[in-house]
């Protein structure tokens, strides 16, 4: 069996940076919290829990002046939550992905300049929730082409369109095309991470050439779900797994070629385990 593993599979820059920051703080023998799961991968979160790193669901769970470190996860948080965290007078370590921080700055500045803000992304995703908070939640979030068609903005005012860093690049272009037809004065800021575009393009290419495709990632990972959608569109026999335990090799015994890709929050160890097992079989 021929097995092709995507070169872009696994931790992206922002995720690796965040994970390394948690490792560094966990080694200092002090109380360490992450505000929400540091990344969307259960195995990584469980590993940190074993090192004593606790996940906070909200700032309210912290005591004022508690002697602790609070790490802001890679997805970022709203401006309001950041200010609440500062008010707790704990030590803050900001592991927000720099590419996400850039979007925070864009929407804050453009809102102040009088732009209407449109975000291409999933409204419930923590990254998008955080972005919305940096423009006072005065924005519209569009995830589908149907929502773009229904999107109504004030005429005569400028519009700034940004995207969740892990959004599907093709879908972003289609959404922009729909909004552009509405004759708005649109400023388009393609804030999809370059690594995301590369990962999605490579996944689609491998899927087209493979009899079957394996996509590895956390079940709550938005970028992994998008990879699955892209691969499924190119290869009917596409399977979404979190770890090797989820893999049923009986499904692959009749295939001559199998492709493997993984989301930005998937540790290299899991990718190698799947790759080795598939090749061995």
Instruction: Count the domains in the chain.
Output: 3
**Domain range enclosing 108:** 99-192
pLDDT mean across residues, the chain = 93
Q: State which of 192, 222, 256 marks the end of a domain.
A: 192
What percentage of the chain has pLDDT greater than the value 70?
Answer: 100
217, 193, 161, 169: which is closest to 75 by C-alpha? 193
Same domain as 219, residue 272: yes
Q: What is the pLDDT of residues 136-170, one digit of tens each?
A: 999 999 999 999 999 998 877 899 999 999 998 89
Q: Which of 37, 67, 97 lies at the terminal end of a domain, its last residue?
A: 97
What's the pLDDT band for 273 if we cut at 50, 70, 90? Answer: very high
Other Cβ atoms within 10 Å of 61 Cβ, number: 12
Distance CA 182, CA 231 (A): 32
- For the annotated catalytic residues, the residue numbers are 127
Mean pLDDT of all residues in 89-112: 96
CATH of the domain at 103: 3.40.1010.20
Query: Rounded to 5 degrees, what are φ and ψ at 35?
Result: -85, 90
Task: Let me know whether 56 and 80 are in one domain.
Answer: yes
Cβ proximity of 133 and 79 under 8 Å: yes
- pLDDT per residue over 11-42, tens digit each? 999 999 999 999 999 998 789 999 999 988 88
Query: For 236-241, what is the mean pLDDT?
Result: 95
Last residue of a domain, one of 134, 167, 192: 192
- Neighbouring C-beta atoms of residue 10, cutoff 10 Å: 24
Q: Residues with Cβ < 8 Å from 249, sequence gap 6 or more?
A: 277, 278, 281
User: Confidence class of residue 281 from pLDDT cuts 50, 70 and 90?
Assistant: low
Neighbours of 220 (CB within 10 A): 16
Pick the more confident residue, 241 or 219: 241
Per-residue pLDDT tens for 177-199? 999 988 788 999 999 999 888 99
Q: What pLDDT shows up at residue 7?
A: 96
pTM value is: 0.88
Q: Over 80: is that where the pLDDT of 259 sits? A: yes
Q: 110, 82, 93: which is closest to 18 by C-alpha?
A: 93
User: For 220-238, what is the mean pLDDT?
Assistant: 93
Q: At a CB cut-off of 8 Å and minimum separation 6, what does 32 contact?
A: 22, 25, 26, 52, 53, 54, 68, 69, 71
């Amino acid at each position: 069996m021929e097995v092709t593993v995507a070169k872009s599979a696994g931790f992206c820059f922002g995720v690796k940076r965040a994970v390394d920051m948690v490792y560094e703080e966990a080694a200092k023998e002090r109380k360490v919290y992450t505000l929400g799961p540091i990344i969307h991968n259960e195995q990584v979160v469980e590993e940190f829990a074993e090192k004593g790193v606790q996940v906070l669901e909200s700032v309210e769970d912290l005591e004022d002046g508690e002697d602790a470190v609070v790490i802001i996860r890679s997805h970022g948080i709203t401006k309001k939550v950041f200010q609440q965290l500062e008010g707790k007078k704990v030590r803050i370590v900001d592991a927000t992905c720099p590419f996400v921080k850039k979007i925070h700055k864009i929407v804050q500045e453009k809102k102040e300049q009088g732009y209407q803000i449109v975000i291409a992304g999933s409204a419930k995703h923590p990254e998008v929730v955080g972005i919305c908070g940096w423009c006072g939640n005065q924005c519209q979030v569009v995830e589908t082409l149907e929502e773009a068609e229904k999107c109504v903005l004030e005429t005569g005012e400028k519009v700034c369109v940004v995207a969740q860093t892990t959004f599907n690049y093709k879908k972003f272009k289609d959404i922009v095309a729909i909004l552009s037809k509405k004759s708005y004065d649109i400023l388009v800021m393609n804030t999809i991470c370059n690594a995301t575009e590369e990962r999605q393009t490579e996944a689609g290419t491998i899927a087209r050439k493979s009899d079957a495709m394996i996509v590895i990632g956390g079940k709550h990972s938005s970028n992994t779900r998008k990879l699955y959608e892209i691969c499924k569109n190119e290869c009917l026999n596409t399977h979404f797994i979190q770890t090797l335990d989820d893999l049923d090799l009986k499904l692959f015994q009749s295939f001559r070629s199998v492709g493997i890709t993984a989301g930005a929050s998937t540790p290299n160890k899991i990718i190698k385990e799947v790759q080795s097992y598939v090749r061995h079989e």
